[in-house]
Structure 1
Amino acid sequence: MSGIRIGQRPQNNRQRYVKLLWTSIWLAYLGAPVSDLLHGGHGTVARALGWIGLVAFVAWYLALVFRTGRGERNGVVLASLAVLATESTVLAFSLGREWLVLFVYVGISSGAALPLRLSRWTVPAVSALLTGVAFVVPGGSDYLTGLLFPALLGGFSMTGVRELIRTTVELREARATVAQLAANEERLRLARDLHDLLGHSLSLITLKSELAGRMLPDHPDRAAQQVADIEQVSRQALVDVREAVTGYRRRRLPAELAGAKVALAAAGVTADLPDEPDLSGVPEESEAALAWALREAVTNVVRHSGARRCTVDLARRQTLDGAVIELSVEDDGSGGPGGSPGNGLTGLSERLEKAGGSLEAGGARHGFRLVARAPAGAPTADVGSRA
C-alpha cells in the first residue's frame, strides 16, 4: 500500500510527499511573521535577516519533524529544540511580537520528537520561555493568551499522538506474535494427530497384510477377510486424517478399546481389556487425551514390545489434586527399543498436560507399563471391569 500507516515512517517518495503536504498545512500559522516582514516597516537589512531566520527556522523544524521516530539520541533532539527556541527568542526580540508564534512550533515539535518522560518537562519549559519573552517584547502580553494555550495543548497533543503510535506498533507486533504462536500450535497439533493416527493404522495394516500373505496359499477365504479388514482400516484412517486436518475429531475411549482389541488380536497378543467403561462425568478433553494414550500404548505394544500379553486397566482414583481417571497399559514384552522418549510419547505427554493430566511410562517387572491420568468427576468405583 502507498499510504502512510500510523507508527511507520515514509518508505517511498509518494509517502514523503504526503507527509510533507500535511506538515506544510500547519505552516499557515506563520502568516503573522510573513506579514510583518512584508508590511512591518523594517529596514532592508532587518527584513533580509528576518527572511533568512524564518527560512532557517522552517527548515530546521521540518527536518526535526521528519526525523521523528528514526531512533535519534534524545540529546540530539534536545539540542535541535534548543536551536529552535533560541532562534524564536532572537527573532521575537529583534522583529517584534508577531514572531512569538514560533514558540508554538517549538512546543509542538518537542511533543512530537521526544518521549513522554522528557516532553512532559520540555513542553511546559517552552511555554514558560514564551511567557517570559512575551512580557519583555513590546505588546507581547496581548498575544500571550492566544499563543500560550496552543503551545501547551499542541505539545501535549503530539505527545499523545506519539504514545498512540507507539501503542499501535506494539499491538501490531503482539498480534503478529500471537498469530505465529497460533500457527505453531496448530502445526504441533496436526503433527501429533497424524503421528498417532497413521502410526496405529499403518501398523495394523502391516500386520494384517502379513497375515493375509501367509494365509493366501492355504486359506484364501481367511486371507480375503484380512484384506477386507485392511480396506476398512484404510478407509477409517482416511476419515481420521481428514478430521484431523479440519480439527473436528475427538477420540472416544470405547472406540479405542474396540480398536485396541482388534490390533492386539491381529498381532497375536492376548488382550485383557475393560468392558463397557463408565465414563459418566468425565470431561470430554480428559476422555480424548486418554483415548490417544491408549492408542499410542497399543501401537507401541504391537510394533516394539514383542509381548504375548497386554493388560489394560481403567479406574477412577481420588488424589490430593482431586478425582482423576487413570489408564494403565502393561505388557510382558521387552520394553521397546529403549533410549529417550519418541515423538509419540512426547506428544502424548503434551496432550495430557494440556488436559490437566500426567503421563508415566517406563519398564515394569515383566515388561513395559504406561500410566496416563486425567481429571475426572466425583470418585466412584472402577469405571470398567476387565473381560
Structure 2
Amino acid sequence: MHLPLPDDRPHLSQVVPSMLAALGVDGFANTLGLPTVARACVLLVDGLGWELLAEHADCAPVLTELVKRPLRVGFPSTTAAGVAAIGTGVASGEHGMAGYTFEVPGAGVLNALRWTSHVDGSNLLGVLVPEEAQPLATTFERAAKAGVTTSVVNYAQFKRSGLTRAVQRGGQYVGVRAFGDLAAQTLRVLEAKPSFCYAYHSELDMLGHVYGPGSTAWRMQLRQVDRLVESIVENLPPGAMLAVVADHGMVTVEDALDVEATPELLEGVRAIGGEVRARHVYTEDGAQADVLAAWRAVIGERAWILSRDEAIAAGWFGPRVNDWVRPRIGDVVAAARDRFGMKLEMAEAVESSLIGQHGSLTTAEQHVPLALAFS
C-alpha cells in the first residue's frame, strides 16, 4: 500500500511565525515571504478545505480572488491540532495536541476541545492543567512580550476553556457571539499599531458535519463566510494584512465500520482515541504487534495503519516529536483512506452520526487555502 508522506506545501504552523516576522518581531522566520506590515490578522475558518473551496468557488468570489496557495495541516487534520499549530507555530509532534481525543498519562483519554474525559465527560481542568499539558510558549505570548498588541477574537464561551489556555494564552481575549461582532471586534483590535490578532469562525465546519460538505446548507454558509471576509477586507486599516486559513478540509463518509462491534479490533486494546477518520489505539502491555496485525487484517486497504514508531518515522506528526508527546500517540495509528470511517457507535454516538468527517491524510482533508489581503 502506498504510504502518504508530507508534501512540499507550507505547513499551517508557518503562517503565524511568518506574519509576526512581517511585523518585525524577532525570533520568527518569514518562510512564506510575506511583506512588511504594521498590523496582521489570521482568520481561521473551521473546515474550509482547499478542494471544497475550489469546487464551490461560485459561493465565495471574494475568498477565491484572494487565494494565493494551498497549505497542508498535518496529522491529524482536526481542529485541536490546527488551532494549536496557529497558537504555537509548530506541528502536532511538538505542541502535543495530538487529536480530537488522545490519551495523556495520568489523566486518561482527553477530549481536547472540551477538556473533558472522553470516557465519562468529567471536567479535567483540575487534573490536567492546560498550561502544563501544552508547555511551549505560544505565538501570542511571544508577540505580546515583543510589544505587539495581541488579541484572540473568538466565541465568548471559550474564553476560559482548556484549549484556549493551552494554545492561545498571551493574547487579550475578545469574546464575540455572531458574524457582526466577529468582524467589528477584529477591525477594532487592528486599530493598534503594531497589532496582531487571531479570529475564528466555526459554523461552516458544523454544517459540514451535520449536512455534509458541499450540501445546500454548507454552500449557504460559505456565502456568509465570504461576506464576512469581504466586510473585514473592505475596512482594514492602513498597513494591515489579513490571512484567511483553515484547520482542515472534510469528506463525506460512505463506508463505516463500528469498531466496538468488531471483537477482533478490541482484543489487547485498553483505550481508543482520535475520531472517525483518524484513530489512536492504545494497547495492553506486549500487545502492540498483535493489535497492529489485527487492525491491518480486518480493515485492510481501507486505512493506512502504522505502529507509533512507523507513523513518527513517516513524518505524520511533523519533523520532530517531543518525548512527552510520544505517549499521546497511539501504539497503533489508523488513518482512513477514501471515504472510510472507524466509528465507535456507543462511546461516540453523536460523532458517529455525522455525515461529514475529517482527521486523516487525504488531500481533501489535508489541503487548506491561504488567502491574503492587504490594505
Which structure: greater strand fraction? 2
Q: Which has the higher contact order (CA 8 A, sep 6+)?
A: 2
> If each structure's helix is expressed as a fraction of its own residues, which one has the higher value?
1
TM-score (normalised: structure 2): 0.25
TM-score between the two structures when normalised by the length of structure 1: 0.24
